[in-house]
Structure 1
Amino acid sequence: MATITKRVWRNKGGKHQAWVVSYTDSEGNRHREQFGTKRLAEARRIDVEGQIKNGLYRASAQTTTVEDACRGYLTVLTKQIERRERVPAYLDHEASCIWNYICPKPGRKTHFSGGISGIKLADLTARSVGSFRDRMRAGGRSVKGARRVIGTLTRVLGYAVSEDLVAVNVSRSVRVTGKRGEGSEKISPPSKEEFAALLSACRNGFKVAVIFSAATAVRISELFALTWSKLDLDNAEVHIDSRVDRKMNRDTTKSKAGLRTIPLARALVSTLRDWRCETQFGEDFDLVFPNSLGKFQSQTNFRRRLFLPAQEEAKKAMAAEGKLYRRFGWHYVRHFAISLWIESGLSEKTVQTFAGHATLAMTMDLYGHLFPSKAHHKTMDTISAGLYPGYADLNPDSA
């Protein structure tokens, strides 16, 4: 049990007093904490006794800050990358969330002053994490972006729990919500007319890259890592097993689900055969879509030099016909491909597999609204037949 004793001393400044809370933790270690008022000491005594009784007390939580936990977490991730258990891009993402928001550092592109780096783990509560979330949202961070940061914080505190730095991961109970419809990830892919206009504006190898991406839904990082050895044109399929990260290094796919084989249409196989004859980089281990030197393409240069000019040309072509062209990001070529798969009748599970999604839930969250469901209409007709007299006479399809 914790006890409170009053301490009194004198010096040149006069008489002073303080209240000392003394207690022994569950491991037998003795602790003493001093407070300026008896009320604060009593509150601390009650808190400590409750934590020790429930097995939640961790002495390190009194001295370890959120920033200390973050640094320890990043050290663990770095070791995991060295053992090839994680990809470098994952570390970059976690570090970005930490140093931009959780423990914001000066000189970063993101200017945010509402971090929680100096808070001791013992003082971190669900309420303080909720206030941190609210500051991010007030500062203009989107629902999706705030969720990513809170997700990183949850993993940091999970690490702290595993190291016995703190007993409870208070971030797990914090949710990020927005206005109705805000943060929705439902995809609205380009129309066929818009894509046709874009394709008309493409030339040479870039046109082949657009056609290939619109047929296979590969991510741009996977597109740039593709070598001819991964294209089995005789069996009309492509094997995806790697990608190029933003630092221009070859890496594994985003997840195990990214390791996949996608069938190719015969027309696309013919186009790829022609392209292999045209390009100067047609050996088995050459890149299918390299830069002019045969090296990995830069995503930034690819968008600026090829994709954006093609979009401008497509926009002008449609405007000349009195039609509107909605500009879109390169990733929407992937969305366009997946929407065509759905339209053609591929099952949800097949779409998930070909797209390389880790879970079916991810596929349905993004594209569920695109899957047609005749069963829903049939069910409504069945219900209506029992409600409305003469419904069968009004609905010829029910006969």
Structure 2
Amino acid sequence: MSGGSVEPYTTSKGRLWMVRYRDENNRQRKRKGFTTKRDATLALADLQVKLARGEWIDPNASKVTVGVLAVPWLEGTTHLKATTRNNLESTLNVHVLPHWNNREVGTIRPTMVRAWVSAKVADGVGATVLERALGILRQILAQAVDDRRLPSNPCDNVRVPRREHSPRGYLTHQQVEALAVECGRDATIVRFLAYTGLRWGEMAALRVSDFDMLRRRVQITRAVAEVKGEVVVSTPKTREKRSVPFPAFLADELAERMVGRGRDNLVFSSDGSTFTRVSNWRPRVFNKAVKRCQLAAEEQRRKEARAGDPTTPGFPTISPHDLRHTAASLAISAGANVKAVQTMLGHASAAMTLDTYADLFPDDLEAVAGALDAARSAACAPAVPSTQQA
């Protein structure tokens, strides 16, 4: 690589300066348009340093668009679970490409990315979806950095607003039972989800062989999900198998569902072989049952109001997934610690459990202070002198 040169040239607007240099492949390059020799000399020095460090970026390489780079990025997600990949592809098409598809990566600046995030927030896009969208753009541009199309990633220091957990509809024991009764022959589904914390897809995939009725345990080894209208069987969400206990009162109900079925038959299925889809079950059974419970609670509160202050709580608007939250709430109120709840729910870490359900764990600060006080008193109490021997 030669040292390069700085040369003047004449235009209709007067004399300007250009830089001639050779790139890492020894091809002749030039940059024009400098108004002073000093600016051109500084630019040449900068180019020489970048070439020496292997940091030089071909200006033509950075002209590729986000849409072009999105194709190999999406192809690189085939190792992910079908549900995860479907969510990423949907977010890419709905939230990323409409804005960035034709934008050359070399023209993207952090301020542009921040403005895009702000616009999404103003449009009411939730933090979870926005995190995913920004993550996709960051990964696409990371490819450009790896391929030396960009010197750095414009997304690196961009953040989205913190997630705010929306109020959850935790059910009481009485409300779980009322909802189960309203679901008729599917009452066991409600009770099972509310007292084990399984995800719908984990429950729907359970076979007779997954249950240990003597130990009252169920093995979670797989899950089902709906992807573009098709049922896909895969591993649980965190890819980890786990063993989850179920209460004794459910044993008879579960055993009844297994009567006449083989080890490989599905438990929560009308015929033992067809997966129960939440997309069908929720509007057909669950939503109607929730509505009836709400009306019953409202009627009971009106009766109580005529005699004084109503004590019956209102019945919240919930989804089947909220039964998982209810399971966490009931377990914590029964005294379960964070590690037990983490294992039951299949969270990746106890930190995730605390982040999700921090409002449910009691502070116990006074109890901690009292225990420390008692421990110190016991440890530092003056020794009782021994009886002197005669």
TM-score range, shorter chain: 0.7 to 0.9
The CA deviation at 1:218 is 0.7
Q: How does 1:260-271 map to 2 (within 5 A)?
A: 260-271=242-253
Match of 2:387 in 1: none
Match of 2:97 in 1: 103
- Do the aligned partners of 1:22 and 1:32 also contact (CA within 8 Å) in 2? yes
The CA deviation at 1:353 is 1.7
- Do the aligned partners of 1:98 and 1:149 also contact (CA within 8 Å) in 2? yes
Identify unmatched segments of 5+ residues in structure 2.
302-311, 374-390
Q: In structure 2, do the counterparts of structure 1 residues 64 and 123 end up closer, same or farther at CA, with 3 Å as the change threshold?
A: same
Match of 2:198 in 1: 218
Q: In structure 2, do the counterparts of structure 1 residues 146 and 23 end up closer, same or farther at CA, with 3 Å as the change threshold?
A: farther
1: CA distance, partners of 2:215 / 2:74: 44
Q: In structure 2, do the counterparts of structure 1 residues 338 and 23 end up closer, same or farther at CA, with 3 Å as the change threshold?
A: farther
Identify unmatched segments of 5+ residues in structure 1.
81-85, 105-114, 385-399
- Do the aligned partners of 1:186 and 1:369 also contact (CA within 8 Å) in 2? no
Superposed CA deviations along residues 227-280 of structure 1, whole A, max 9, x for unmatched, are 1121222331111111112131111222234x2111222222222012222xx7
Match of 1:232 in 2: 212
Deviates more, 1:55-64 or 1:365-374: 55-64
TM-score, scaled relative to structure 2: 0.79
Match of 2:175 in 1: 194
- Do the aligned partners of 1:161 and 1:169 also contact (CA within 8 Å) in 2? yes
TM-score, scaled relative to structure 1: 0.77
Q: How does 1:53-132 map to 2 (within 5 A)?
A: 55-59=54-58, 61-78=61-78, 80=79, 86-104=80-98, 115-132=99-116
2: CA distance, partners of 1:163 / 1:306: 52
- Do the aligned partners of 2:4 and 2:19 also contact (CA within 8 Å) in 1? yes
Match of 1:313 among 271, 292, 301: 292
Larger radius of gyration: 2
Deviates more, 1:115-124 or 1:225-234: 115-124
Match of 1:335 in 2: 325
Match of 1:31 in 2: 29
The CA deviation at 1:16 is 10
2: CA distance, partners of 1:326 / 1:371: 21
Superposed CA deviations along residues 315-369 of structure 1, whole A, max 9, x for unmatched, are 1111220252221111110000011121222221221122111122211110122
- Residue 363 (structure 1) aligned with residue 344 (structure 2): no
1: CA distance, partners of 2:192 / 2:131: 33
Superposed CA deviations along residues 357-399 of structure 1, whole A, max 9, x for unmatched, are 112221111012211232x113566999xxxxxxxxxxxxxxx
Q: In structure 2, do the counterparts of structure 1 residues 184 and 3 end up closer, same or farther at CA, with 3 Å as the change threshold?
A: farther
State the AA in 1 paired with 2:234: D
Superposed CA deviations along residues 19-38 of structure 1, whole A, max 9, x for unmatched, are 65544345545434555x74
The CA deviation at 1:116 is 1.9
Q: How does 1:249-398 map to 2 (within 5 A)?
A: 249-257=232-240, 259-277=241-259, 282-291=261-270, 294-322=273-301, 323=312, 324-374=314-364, 376-379=365-368
Match of 1:141 in 2: 125
Aligned-residue RMSD, C-alpha: 3.2
Match of 1:154 among 121, 138, 144: 138
1: CA distance, partners of 2:131 / 2:249: 42
2: CA distance, partners of 1:303 / 1:16: 74
Deviates more, 1:186-195 or 1:344-353: 186-195
SS at match of 1:172: coil
SS at match of 1:153: helix
How many residues align structurally?
353
- Do the aligned partners of 1:318 and 1:325 also contact (CA within 8 Å) in 2? yes
- Do the aligned partners of 1:242 and 1:253 also contact (CA within 8 Å) in 2? yes
The CA deviation at 1:97 is 1.9
Match of 2:309 in 1: none
Deviates more, 1:54-63 or 1:115-124: 54-63
- Do the aligned partners of 2:207 and 2:264 also contact (CA within 8 Å) in 1? yes
SS at match of 2:152: coil
- Do the aligned partners of 2:265 and 2:272 also contact (CA within 8 Å) in 1? no
2: CA distance, partners of 1:293 / 1:275: 9
Q: In structure 2, do the counterparts of structure 1 residues 163 and 359 end up closer, same or farther at CA, with 3 Å as the change threshold?
A: farther
Superposed CA deviations along residues 55-76 of structure 1, whole A, max 9, x for unmatched, are 4333264232222222111111
Match of 2:383 in 1: none
